[in-house]
């Protein structure tokens, strides 16, 4: 028994380690086409293809000075991750980790132009929908439980009346049989509602997993270009407007 428990503990630790190394559930390289002022566009596809071929590390705090042998395209673009600290005009202030490759990064406070506000709003909107779905599931489970218990009590009453010799026994059997059927139907309806809500919840959870977040808080995780100038000494990056139309 002790060996079995030890084996289960080892399996659990391995599972936790695998989960920690699995990386984000959202796509890091997404929406390659960016649009800027006066219709200028940038296509990050070559950078994304290069990025996918690079080795990776899982600890974002483990800096490395290694230089990829393959020439990196679009050197002004970096993967910018981090937490939104505030809003200054049309830009976000971000406590960022800036990756020039999957294994090379620096920490920096930055301004982010054309920030992903729509994605952030979508994330918190989905979270609200998920919370509502969880509450409705809990309510439906309470309804299901109450009707299931009421059905069981009605069936018990039917059994008592069937063994009774009183004058109202037949009426009792009829009345409690009808009640048991009503409660059974109500419980079945609640159970069907639970199934539907759980399906909707899984869909919401799948949508949320496609958006960068950490501990329920939206996180920036986009490729952005370093504009080459600063504001109050803080570097400015620009995400560009996301477009699904090739340049």
Express each pLDDT in 139-190 by its tens digit.
999 999 999 999 999 999 999 999 998 888 999 999 999 999 999 999 999 9
Tell me the per-residue pLDDT of 202-221, one tens digit each, with 9 for 90 and over.
999 999 999 999 999 999 99
What is the rounded CA–CA span in Å between residue 2 and residue 143?
43
- What angle (nearest 5°) sits at the alpha carbon of residue 41, between those of residues 38 and 47? 155
Spatial CA neighbour of 220 closest among 121, 113, 115: 115
DSSP state of 222: E
Looking at residue 244, its pLDDT comes to 63
Looking at residue 69, its pLDDT comes to 57
Q: Answer yes or no: is pLDDT of 68 > 70.
A: no
Looking at residue 228, its pLDDT comes to 85
Tell me the per-residue pLDDT of 231-245, one tens digit each, with 9 for 90 and over.
889 999 999 998 766
Tell me the per-residue pLDDT of 5-43, one tens digit each, with 9 for 90 and over.
344 433 443 444 443 345 678 999 999 999 998 889 999
Q: Beta strands 104-113 and 234-238: pairing type?
A: parallel
What is the rounded CA–CA span in Å between residue 12 and residue 21?
14
Intervals of CATH 1.10.287 along the chain: 121-209
pTM for this model (two decimals)? 0.79
Q: Answer yes or no: is pLDDT of 86 > 90.
A: yes
Helix (H, G, I), strand (E, B) or coil at 72: coil
- Record the tokens describing residue 232, joined without a space: 């109050």
Q: Which residues contact 28 (CB under 8 A, 6 or more apart)?
A: 51, 79, 221
Tell me the per-residue pLDDT of 98-130, one tens digit each, with 9 for 90 and over.
999 999 999 999 999 999 999 999 999 999 999
Mean pLDDT of the chain: 87
Q: How far is CA 209 from each of CA 22, 35, 97, 203, 215, rounded to the nearest angstrom?
A: 13, 26, 21, 10, 12
Spatial CA neighbour of 26 closest among 231, 239, 220: 220
Q: Answer yes or no: is pLDDT of 223 > 70.
A: yes
Contact 234, 28 (CB under 8 A): no
Looking at residue 90, its pLDDT comes to 93
Looking at residue 225, its pLDDT comes to 97
The distance from CA 130 to its chain's CA centroid, rounded to whole angstroms, is 10
Looking at residue 19, its pLDDT comes to 38
The terminus-to-terminus CA distance of the chain in angstroms comes to: 64
Residue 29 or residue 56, greater confidence: 29
The CATH classification number of 121-209 equals: 1.10.287
Please give the share of the chain, as a percent, with pLDDT higher than 70: 84
Alpha helices in the chain (DSSP H): 2-21, 45-52, 117-162, 169-209
Q: For the packed helices 117-162 and 169-209, what is the interaxial angle rounded to 10 degrees? A: 160
């Amino acid at each position: 028994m002790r060996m079995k428990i030890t084996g289960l503990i080892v399996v659990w630790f391995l599972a936790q380690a695998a989960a920690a190394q699995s990386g984000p559930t959202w796509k890091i390289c997404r929406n390659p086409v960016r649009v800027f002022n006066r219709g200028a566009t940038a296509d990050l596809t070559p950078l994304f293809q290069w990025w996918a071929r690079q080795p990776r590390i899982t600890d974002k705090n483990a800096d490395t000075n290694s230089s990829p042998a393959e020439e990196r395209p679009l050197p002004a673009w970096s993967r910018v991750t981090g937490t939104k600290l505030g809003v200054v005009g049309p830009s976000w202030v971000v406590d960022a980790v800036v990756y020039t490759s999957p294994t090379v990064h620096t920490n920096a406070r930055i301004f982010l132009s054309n920030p992903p506000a729509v994605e952030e709003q979508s994330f918190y909107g989905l979270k609200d929908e998920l919370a509502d779905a969880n509450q409705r599931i809990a309510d439906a489970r309470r309804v299901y439980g109450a009707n299931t218990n009421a059905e069981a009590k009605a069936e018990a009453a039917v059994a008592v009346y069937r063994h009774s010799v009183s004058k109202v026994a037949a009426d009792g059997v009829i009345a409690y049989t009808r009640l048991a059927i009503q409660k059974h139907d109500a419980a079945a309806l609640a159970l069907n509602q639970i199934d539907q809500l759980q399906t909707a919840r899984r869909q919401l959870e799948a949508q949320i997993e496609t958006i960068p977040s950490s501990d329920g808080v939206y996180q920036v995780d986009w490729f952005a270009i370093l504009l080459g100038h600063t504001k109050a000494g803080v570097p400015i990056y620009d995400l560009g407007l996301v477009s699904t139309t090739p340049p």
